[in-house]
Structure 1
């Protein structure tokens, strides 16, 4: 009996020891599996990759592009044959209306004028003689000294002499015009934009001598798809940029709209006039812009802040120092200003991430770097 009781007691002890070992092991596992808090470092974001949600003026409308042309442009061509005797201007020179720009050889033309004047004088003298003879013949006819047919013959001779006077005067007028055309004058106030000839060149009628443009006003000829016809109105503003001034906006207005669409492209030609009092715009520069069909002030962000499309459109905003992706509803899109209207999802004044930085995982700490301060200019010592 004692041996049976002793065996049972030892078995209980062994069971208790085994249970203690299991409990201890489980406790150790739990302690090892406890999460360790790790402080993640914030993502550093340059200031140019951050934008503020603000109310801005957005515009939409059809885009246009083309080369700038002078609103007033005159191509001066030779109206007579001869050598270029003198050129008074160079490319870029400002000229006034009536100013002499070039002279062509005129010796032969001057001789033609002199000969024409002599012809006029001769014809006038012949007409004066014929008129006097007619008056004498008529007196004789009234006195019965000559027949009526003699009077008619003298009247015909006088009319012929008168016609010869008119013809001689016409030849003189043509000769004077030809001589005048040897001197090329500016048709209006402007600037010489082209001068393909030099002094001494021999030219023929129609040869291009100079081009004068009025730089105070330029125009842009473009075409607009027919589906945008309802937005085309004379006087509608057009905002555009020109190569050479990538950060500067210029504004013009629609001056003319073609009454018919192009038969091949089905687009509608328009002409946009742009004031150019400062002379900054040069003829021939390439311009791209948009007709401001609709314009309003709305809450907006740069287009670079928008990710996704449709209902999956999101923006990464900085809230409480962390990146947070939030769904947004967008509206008006200004392609030229690269801005997008935010209808819901963001508040005015919030900061959003742009470009690659917008892909930072939601919940990641974010730190926006400060813009470097400009170094002060060294002071100059004066004696």
Structure 2
């Protein structure tokens, strides 16, 4: 009986030792010896339609962030004044109103306007008389009846009066008073001010009854059909700019993207170390107004950079990664390593990547389709392994 009990203990001990030895390898049998590696069976590889490729050299455009405003060229923004002082008799302009070239924007009244018209009629009458006298003296001179001195005097008086009449004509034209009306006896005490361009009223600085002088700016009118973008670019970014580059910009409180083209690059650096860059809008928009604030990106030319398709890059916990294929430890399996990268310029479905030191991009075989499936399997596998311990 004692011998039987001893035999039973020995067998039980051996059985437990055997069980214990069978359980020991379990912790070592991990699918992910490296926390950044993952393996797929041939079936899994096919199921997720995993595709591999190479890191490529691509010409991607760099961009420069800029701020600016919409503005109009000097020839498309006019300040309107009264050439001669007077009282504003009438104006119907309001800010934002559209006006056409030649339209009356205000009527100025001044009693002195009457004097100018009367002088014109008086001098013109004298001019006609002096012209006839000069011609008569010339005829007499050809017959040697009068002295040359008399002819010269007649000519001098005629030329002097003609200059006065021409000066008054120019003055009346500035007043926009018709010479024909004056010569027909219609004298007026008011002068019309006309708009020199078509556009929109941006400022109204007067009102009916106000007395104005030639130095007063009554209105400002802008032709918004030729707005341009005036960008402020930092000194360090100027070498990257060339005429003809495209600018993508949006206005404040607007998501619509608009396009402009660099037309002129300033030659003076401001106190804030910036340079003004003049850009023409690719598509005119009459709804835009001078002074609108904008934010934009200037395409600063193309550079050869290492790049991968956008879908080859995955993001996890704020970091960017790609997967490269490595040699598998088991037959019929594919192994992949997750590599941390920094990203740069993105364009046309490709994104610039910068590998960590020690990695040679030319030799890597990367996953270009199915990267997020690998990330999911990798992280789920880690969690499952964590629960089993």
TM, length-normalised to structure 2: 0.62
d(CA) in 2 for partners of 1:295, 1:219: 25
d(CA) in 1 for partners of 2:258, 2:316: 27
Find the counterpart in structure 1 of residue 151 from structure 2.
Answer: 155
- CA apart distance, 1:131: 4.0
- CA apart distance, 1:74: 1.4
Task: Verify the 8 A CA contact 1:196 1:210 in the aligned structure 2.
Answer: yes
Matched, 1:95 2:99: yes
- CA apart distance, 1:249: 0.9
- CA apart distance, 1:304: 11
Find the counterpart in structure 2 of residue 217 from structure 1.
Answer: 226
After superposition, the Cα gap between the structure-2 partners of 1:364 and 1:287, relative to the gap in structure 1 and judged at 3 Å, is: farther
RMSD of aligned residue pairs (Cα, Å)? 4.8
Find the counterpart in structure 2 of residue 60 from structure 1.
Answer: 62
Alignment partner of 1:80 out of 75, 84, 93:
84
d(CA) in 1 for partners of 2:381, 2:254: 40
Find the counterpart in structure 1 of residue 116 from structure 2.
Answer: 112
Alignment partner of 2:310 out of 283, 300, 320:
300
- CA apart distance, 1:345: 6.2
After superposition, the Cα gap between the structure-2 partners of 1:349 and 1:271, relative to the gap in structure 1 and judged at 3 Å, is: farther
Which structure has the bigger radius of gyration?
1
After superposition, the Cα gap between the structure-2 partners of 1:199 and 1:348, relative to the gap in structure 1 and judged at 3 Å, is: farther
Q: SS at the partner of 2:197? A: coil
Q: SS at the partner of 1:293? A: strand
Aligned pairs for 1:1-383 within 5 A: 59-71=61-73, 72-133=76-137, 135-136=139-140, 139=143, 142=144, 151-180=147-176, 182-246=191-255, 248-258=256-266, 260-262=267-269, 264=271, 267-294=274-301, 299-300=309-310, 305=315, 314=321, 326-333=338-345, 341-342=352-353, 347-348=368-369, 362-363=379-380
Find the counterpart in structure 1 of residue 56 from structure 2.
Answer: none
TM, length-normalised to structure 1: 0.63
Task: Verify the 8 A CA contact 1:134 1:154 in the aligned structure 2.
Answer: no
- CA apart distance, 1:286: 0.9
Question: What are the Cα deviations for residues 86-139 of structure 1, in whole angstroms up to 9, with x where unaligned?
Answer: 113322222222111122114421431222221221233134235424544663
d(CA) in 2 for partners of 1:102, 1:187: 13
Q: Which runs of 5+ in 1 are unaligned?
A: 1-8, 27-34, 36-56, 317-323, 353-357, 367-383
d(CA) in 1 for partners of 2:116, 2:300: 62
Q: Which runs of 5+ in 2 are unaligned?
A: 18-26, 28-58, 178-190, 324-335, 354-360, 384-389
Task: Verify the 8 A CA contact 2:227 2:280 in the aligned structure 1.
Answer: yes
User: How many residues were matched structurally?
Assistant: 314
- CA apart distance, 1:238: 0.8
d(CA) in 2 for partners of 1:304, 1:207: 64
d(CA) in 1 for partners of 2:271, 2:111: 53
